[in-house]
Structure 1
Amino acid sequence: MAVFSLRTKVVLDSAARRCDGLGMRLFALTALVMIAFAANSVLNRMAVHDAGWGPAATGFVRLSSGALVLLALAIRAKGAAGLRLPPAILGAGVATLALYIFGFSIASGLIDAGVGALTLFGMVQITMFAGALWMREPISRWRWIGAGLAFAGLAVLLLPASGAAHIDPRGFAMMALAGIGWGLYSLNGRRAGNPLIATALNFSLAAPLALIWMLGAGDWGQGASWGWLPAILSGAVTSGLGYALWYRVLPQIPASLAAIAQLSVPLIAALGGAVVLAETPSARFWLAAALVIGGIALSLKRKT
Structure 2
Amino acid sequence: MTPLVGLLTLLAMLAFAANSLLARAAFSTTDIDPASFTAIRLASGALTLFVILRWQGSKPTSFRSGGWSALTLFIYAAAFSFAYRDISTGAGALVLFASAQLLMISYGLYKGERASVLGLLLAFGGLVAFLVPSASAPPLSAAVLMALAGSAWGVFSLLGRSQGAPIISTTSSFIWALPLAAVLVLTQVQQLNTDAMGVVYALLSGCVASGLGYAVWYWVRVRMTAIGAGAVQLSVPVISAVMGVALLDETMSLHSVVSALLTLGGVAWVSLTIRNTKG
Residue 106 of structure 1 corresponds to: 82
RMSD: 1.6
User: 1:197 Cα deviation (Å)?
Assistant: 0.3
Classify 1:45/1:219 alpha carbon distance in 2 versus 1 (closer, same or farther; 3 Å): farther
Counterparts of residues 82-101 of structure 1 (less than 5 Å): 83-86=60-63, 88-101=64-77
Task: Tell me, yes or no, if the aligned pair for 1:85 and 1:192 is still in contact at 8 Å.
Answer: no
Does residue 75 (structure 1) correspond to residue 54 (structure 2)? The answer is: yes
One-letter code aligned to 1:193: G
Note closer, same or farther for the CA distance 1:24–1:274 as it changes in structure 2 (3 Å cut).
same
State the match for 2:164 in structure 1.
193
Question: What is the alpha-carbon distance in structure 2 between the residues aligned to residue 254 and residue 38 of structure 1?
Answer: 22
* Counterpart residue number, 2:181: 210
Percent identity of equivalent pairs: 37
Matched, 1:133 2:106: no
Q: Retained in 2: the 8 A contact 1:48–1:58? A: no
Structure 1 residue ranges (4+ consecutive) displaced by more than 3 angstroms after TM superposition: none
Q: Are residues 220 and 70 of structure 1, via their aligned partners in 2, closer, same or farther at CA, if it must alter by over 3 Å?
A: farther
Query: Is the CA contact (8 Å cut-off) linking 1:112 and 1:273 kept in structure 2?
Result: yes
CA-CA distance at 1:196 after TM superposition: 0.2
Task: Give TM-score, length-normalised by structure 1.
Answer: 0.86
**Residue 252 of structure 1: SS of its match in structure 2?**
coil
Superposed, 1:1-304 pairs within 5 Å as: 23-80=2-59, 83-86=60-63, 88-134=64-110, 136-140=111-115, 142=116, 144-162=117-135, 165-218=136-189, 221-299=192-270, 300-301=272-273, 302-303=276-277
Cα distance in 2 between the residues matched to 1:188 and 1:259: 17
Letter aligned with residue 84 of structure 1: T
Separation of aligned partners in 2, 1:203 and 1:117: 21
Q: What is the DSSP-based 3-state SS (H/G/I as helix, E as strand, rest coil) of the residue aligned with 1:193?
A: coil
Amino acid at match of 1:148: L
Q: Which amino acid aligns with 1:138?
A: E
Classify the secondary structure of the residue corresponding to 1:138: coil
Contact 1:52 1:223 (8 Å CA) reproduced: yes
Give the equivalent residue in structure 2 for 1:4.
none
CA distance in 1, matches of 2:137, 2:176: 37
Shift of the alpha carbon at 1:224? Answer: 3.7
Deviation readout 1:190-220 (Å, 9 max, x if unpaired)? 1122000011010111122112101210167
- TM-score normalised according to structure 2 size: 0.94
Q: Give the unaligned 5+ runs of structure 2.
A: none
CA deviations on 1:104-158 (whole Å, 9 max, x unpaired) are 0100111001000000011011111222234x23222x2x333322211211122
Give the partner amino acid of 1:124.
Answer: A
Contact 1:119 1:172 in 2 (8 A): yes
Give yes or no for contact 2:130–2:260 (8 Å, CA) kept in 1: no
Q: Is the 8 A contact 1:39 1:238 kept in 2?
A: yes
Larger radius of gyration: 1
Displacement, 1:77?
Answer: 2.3
Letter of the 2:146 counterpart: M
